[in-house]
């Protein structure tokens, strides 16, 4: 069975992720290893696929907490397959669509409005007269999804 296990260096080389990142992922419960009698980490080959999923999820902006939830739905004792990946990606579609809408909103308002937090209170009589948006809470309310009054 030891032949089927990989060292941290082998996983790092195959996945393109630094050993320090692998140790961090392990400390966060995203991947797992076993230990040799000499206390060295050994990873099942399936961890390479998990690391690839982590990297893909990070590339689209998912948090480690969101990634952990997704990974918890994967089978623990085998390499995730295409069907597993499709199930994960379907779950992420809505999150990604929401982020895309938020980024598009930010882009469209970036030149004229900081989202009413509001640093342009004197110049913003149209979208935030008398700083009325402050009653909705702290931060850039329009960029956080609050609709302008009207």
- pLDDT tens track for 71-89: 888 876 777 788 888 888 8
Strands lying side by side in the sheet with 41-44: 5-6, 41-44, 34-35
Please confirm whether the linkage preceding 118 is cis (ω < 30° from 0).
Answer: yes
pTM for this model (two decimals): 0.63
- Dihedral Cα 81, 64, 70, 104, nearest 10 deg: -100
Rounded-to-integer distance, Cα 18 and Cα 21, Å: 5
Give 2's pLDDT tier (boundaries 50, 70, 90). very low
| pLDDT at residue 112 in the model | 56
Give 94's pLDDT tier (boundaries 50, 70, 90). confident
Domain boundaries, the chain: 2-97, 112-150
Name which residue leads in pLDDT, 110 or 15: 15
Instruction: Please say if the pLDDT value at position 42 is more than 50.
Output: yes
The most confident of the ranges 21-25, 47-51, 126-130 is: 21-25
Rounded-to-integer distance, Cα 40 and Cα 119, Å: 54
DSSP 105: H
Q: Mean pLDDT over residues 107-135, rounded?
A: 62
What is the residue-averaged pLDDT of the chain?
81
CB 115 within 8 A of CB 128: no
Class (C level, CATH) for 2-97 = mainly alpha
Rounded-to-integer distance, Cα 16 and Cα 42, Å: 17
């Amino acid at each position: 069975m030891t032949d089927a296990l990989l060292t941290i260096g082998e996983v790092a080389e195959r996945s393109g992720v630094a050993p320090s990142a692998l140790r961090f992922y392990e400390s966060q419960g995203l991947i797992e290893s076993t230990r040799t009698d000499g206390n060295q980490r050994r990873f099942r080959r399936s961890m390479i696929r998990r690391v690839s999923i982590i990297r893909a999820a990070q590339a689209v902006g998912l948090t480690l907490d969101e990634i952990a939830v997704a990974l918890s739905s994967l089978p623990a004792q085998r390499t995730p397959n295409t069907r597993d990946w499709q199930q994960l990606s379907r779950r992420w579609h809505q999150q990604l669509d929401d982020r895309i809408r938020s980024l598009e909103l930010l882009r469209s308002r970036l030149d004229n409005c900081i989202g009413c937090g509001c640093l342009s209170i004197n110049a913003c009589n149209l979208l935030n007269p008398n700083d009325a948006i402050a009653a909705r809470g702290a931060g850039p309310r329009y960029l956080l999804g609050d609709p302008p009054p009207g």
